[in-house]
Amino acid sequence: MTSSRSRRAARLGGAALAAALLTATQATTALAAPGNPGEPRYSAGAPSLGDPYFPDQGNGGYDVRHYDVTFTYDPATKVMDATTVITAVATQDLDRFDLDFRGPQITSLKVGKHPAAYRRDGQELVVTPRPKLKTGEAFTVTVTYAGTPPVVTDPDGSIEGWVPTDDGAFVPGEPQGAPAWLPANDSPADKATFTFRATVPEGVTVVGNGRLVSTTTANGKTTFVWDSAEPMATYLATVTLGNFVVNETTTPGGIPVYTAVDPRLVTQSAAAVARIPDILDYFSSIFGPYPFNQAGAVIDRAPDVGYALESQTKPIFSSAPGVGTMAHELAHQWYGDSVSVGKWSDIWLNEGFATYATWLWTEHTGGATAQQTFNGSGNYGRAATSSFWQIVTADPGPEDMFGNVPYNRGAMTLHALRGKIGDAAFFTLIKDWASRQRYGNASTADFIRAAEEVSGMDLKAFFDVWLFQKGKPVSW
C-alpha cells in the first residue's frame, strides 16, 4: 500500500488500476513512443524512493500489500532460518526490481512459482523476474535465508535491526532496521499488512505486532503466529523475543492490552505498565478512537539500545520506562503509526506530536500544565544563544532526526499553534488529522493545510517561524 493515490487505485480492477497509475508524463511518452501502444514497456523499478536522509531506502515499480514471515530462531546460536513471502502489485511493467535486504545468506528466491535471478549490492536485493511482470499484476516474492541477522548502525550512532539480548533479541526498525531480518520495500510510504510465524525454543516468548493468532508447542519448540491486520510501515515491525512475563487485560474503554515484561524489570516498570489503560483511554478521548485492534507494550533488557520505539500495537522498551515514556510511545500509535510520515524530514510530525501528548497527559494527571512545560528550561526557556535553536524543525537532518529538536521544538510548535488558533480549533484539528489520515502517509504541507482549513486562518508566517527557520521564535 503506497500513497492515497495507490490506495484509491487498489480498489479499482486490473486495467483501471494500470490507467490510474500512469502519470501524465508516462502516458504522453507511451503515446509518442513507436510500436504497438498496447504492448507492455518493461523497465527496471527504481532502486530508491529518493528520501535524501536514506537514499537507498525503498524501491519503485511495485506496491507491497502483505508480508508473511516464517522463521525459526535460537537465541543460543543466534541463527535464524526464514522464509518471507511478499505479496505485491506491479505499478509499472517490470523486468527487474529491488528489495531492501541486509539479512543473512539467501538460499532461494522465487517470483511466483519461478526461481528468479538475483544479486545483492549493499542493502539492495536486485531481482530479475521471469516471466516479466505487467502493470497491475499481483505477484509474490518468496525469499529463503539463513544465518545471523545484523545489527544496523544509524547516522547518530544508535543501533537497531536485530539486537541480541542475553535471553533473545530486541528488534527495533526505525529508521532503517527492518531489512536486517526481512526483505522489504523499506519505506514508511509503502505500508502493508504482516503475518509472523516464529518458532523458538519452548519457554521463549515472541511478541509481534497485532494479534496473537496461535501458540503451538511440539518437540520442545513453540510457534507464535502474530497477525497485523491494519497497514503498517516496515520500520514499525517487531518480533522481539526472550523471557517475558505476559499479561492481558482490557481498558475500561474496551481496548485489548497485551504486555510482555522481562521478569527482571517487572518491579521497576510496574507503575508505567499499570497506567497503560488510563493513558490509552485518555488519548482516545482527545485524539479519537485507538486506531488498531490491539494495544500493549514489550519491556525488555537491551542496554546497548537505550531508546524505546513505537512498534505498531506493541511499543518496545529497551529498559524499564517511566510513565512519560510509556505515554510517548502510546501516543505514537495515533501519530507516527496510524498517521505516518512519507519522508523522514517530516519526523517532527511523529516526535513533536508524541512529545506534546505527554505534556497533555502530565497536565491531565495533575502535573505541570502544558504551558508550564512549554516555558521550561528544556523548551522555550532555553537561551536564544543555545545551539538547540540552530536546527530546522521540519528538516533536522539524519543525525538529528531523533535529537531534541523534532521532539521539543516540535511539541512547542503544537503548543504555540494551540495558542494561535484556540483550543476548540486545535483539538478539532488533531482529532481530524488522526481520522482523515488514518493508516496513511501525511506531510508537513498536509498538516499546514489542515490547520489553515480548521482555523480559517493564514498560518504561513506562523509555521515558517516555528518549522522552517532557525533561531528562537520571538513572535508568531
Contact set with ligand TRP (CB under 6 A):
154, 156, 158, 174, 307-310, 328-329, 351, 402
Q: How far is the CB of 200 from Zn ion (least distance, A)?
A: 29
The nearest distance, CB 350 to Zn ion, in angstroms, is: 6
Q: Judging by DSSP bridges, how do beta strands 138-147 and 163-165 pair with one another?
A: unpaired
Binding mask 339-358 for Zn ion (x = CB under 5 A): ------------x--x----
- Pick between residue 242 and residue 398 the one whose CB is nearest to ligand TRP: 398
CA gap 122, 35 in Å, rounded: 37
Q: Residue written as cell 502516458?
A: 27
Quick one: what does residue 166 bind among Zn ion, ligand TRP, none, with the CB cut-off 5 to 8 Å set by partner type?
Answer: none
Q: How far apart are CA 174 and CA 324, in angstroms?
A: 20
Nine cell digits for residue 136? 497491475
Q: Which of 40, 41, 64, 60 is nearest to 50 (CA)?
A: 60
Task: Compute the least distance from the CB of residue 255 to Zn ion, in Å.
Answer: 20
Identity of the residue, 158 or 469, whose beta carbon is nearer to ligand TRP in the bound complex? 158
- For residues 149 and 171, give the distance between their C-alpha atoms in angstroms, rounded to a whole number: 10
Residue nearest to Zn ion as judged by C-beta position: 354
CB nearer to Zn ion: pick between 242 and 321: 321
Rounded CA separation 435/5 (Å): 17
Q: Which is nearer to ligand TRP, 186 or 329 (CB)?
A: 329
Q: Which residues contact 13 (CB under 8 A, 6 or more apart)?
A: none
Contact status, residue 374 vs residue 360, Cβ threshold 8 Å: no
Question: Which is it for strands 205-208 and 192-201: parallel, antiparallel or unpaired?
Answer: unpaired
Q: Considering the complex, state which of residue 411 and residue 451 has its C-beta at the smaller distance from Zn ion.
A: 411
CB of 235 to Zn ion, least distance (A): 12
* Partner whose footprint covers residue 307, from ligand TRP, Zn ion, none (CB < 5 to 8 Å by kind): ligand TRP
Report, in Å, the least distance between residue 315 CB and ligand TRP.
Answer: 7
Q: What CA–CA distances, in Å, run from 226 to 160, 181, 206, 398?
A: 21, 16, 9, 32
**86 lines the binding site for Zn ion (CB under 5 A):** no
Are 89 and 61 in contact by the 8 Å Cβ rule? The answer is no
* Binding partner of 174, given Zn ion, ligand TRP, none, CB within 5-8 angstroms per partner class: ligand TRP
The CB-of-463 to ligand TRP minimum distance in angstroms stands at: 22
Q: In terms of CB distance, is 374 or 402 closer to ligand TRP?
A: 402
DSSP code per residue over 356-398: HHHHHHHHHTTS--HHHHHHSTTTTTS-TTSGGGGS-TT---T
Return the DSSP state at 78.
Answer: T
Smallest distance from ligand TRP to CB 110, Å: 33
Q: Which three cell numbers stand for residue 243?
A: 523471557
Q: Cα–Cα distance between 342 and 432 in angstroms, integer? A: 19
Q: What's the min distance (Å) between Cβ of 340 and Zn ion?
A: 13
C-alpha 426/C-alpha 432 separation (Å) is 10
156 binds, among Zn ion, ligand TRP, none (CB under 5 to 8 A by kind): ligand TRP
Closest distance to Zn ion from the beta carbon of 419 (Å)? 23
Question: CA distances (Å), 95 to each of 2, 62, 290, 335, in order?
Answer: 21, 12, 41, 37
Partner interacting with residue 268 (select from ligand TRP, Zn ion, none; CB below 5-8 Å by kind): none
Cell 505515554, residue?
A: 327
Q: Residue 63 binds what, of ligand TRP, Zn ion, none (CB under 5 to 8 Å, by partner type)? A: none
Q: Measure the CA–CA gap between 346 and 393, rounded to whole angstroms.
A: 8
**402 binds, options Zn ion, ligand TRP, none, Cβ within 5 to 8 A by partner type:** ligand TRP
Which listed option, ligand TRP, Zn ion, none, makes contact with residue 202 (CB within 5 to 8 Å by class)? Answer: none
Nearer to ligand TRP, 90 or 354 (CB): 354
Side chain identity, residue 352: G
* 331 is a site residue for Zn ion (CB under 5 A): no
Residue 92 or 338: which CB sits closer to ligand TRP? 338
Contact partner at residue 167 from ligand TRP, Zn ion, none, CB < 5 to 8 Å by partner kind: none
Q: 450 and 349 in contact (C-beta within 8 Å)?
A: no
Q: Which does 448 bind (CB under 5 to 8 A by kind): Zn ion, ligand TRP, none?
A: none
Minimum CB–partner distance for residue 410 and ligand TRP (Å): 11
Residues 351-390 that bind Zn ion (CB under 5 A): 351, 354
Residue type, position 432, single letter: D
Residues that bind Zn ion (CB under 5 A): 351, 354
